[in-house]
Amino acid sequence: MQIVLPQLGEGIERAEVAFWHVKVGDRVAQQTDLVEMVTDKATFIIPADCSGVVKNIYARVGESLLIGAPLAQIDLVE
């Protein structure tokens, strides 16, 4: 499952990666904190939508991403 940067609010077009709570290979449960994004006055922690293993991380800390940009890939675990 691909995790993307969700809509954060009206007029907010992008956000910066502030902190990764996971690394590739980590096993995550649903609602585990994945990544903290930051806009000018707000941080926003994005959770995992599913349980699985972090397969890929697509953005580095400090990178500015558009809404909808891919953040990570999680392989589902049965």
Partner 1 sequence: MTAQDMDQQWTVEDWNIINYNEAYARQKTAVQAVLSGHGPYLFMCEHPAVITLGRLADSRHILASSPVLEQQGIDVIAVDRGGDVTLHAPGQLVAYPVFNLKNYRCDLRWYLDKLEQVAIDLLTDFDILTCRFPGRTGVWVGSKKIVSIGVGVKHWVTFHGLAININTDLPLFNLIKPCGLEVQMTSVQQLQGTAVDMRIVKQLFQRHCLRIFTGNFSPAF
Q: What residues make contact with partner 1 under the rule CB under 8 A?
A: 7-12, 16, 18-19, 31, 33, 36, 38-47
Nearer to partner 1, 12 or 29 (CB): 12
Q: Shortest distance, CB of residue 65 to partner 1, whole angstroms? A: 15
Question: Rounded distance, CA 54 to CA 73, Å?
Answer: 6
Closest CB to partner 1 among 19 and 56?
Answer: 19
In the complex with partner 1, which residue's Cβ is closer, 40 or 78? 40
Pick from 43, 42, 51: nearest CA to 3: 51
Q: How far apart are CA 48 and CA 6, in angstroms?
A: 12
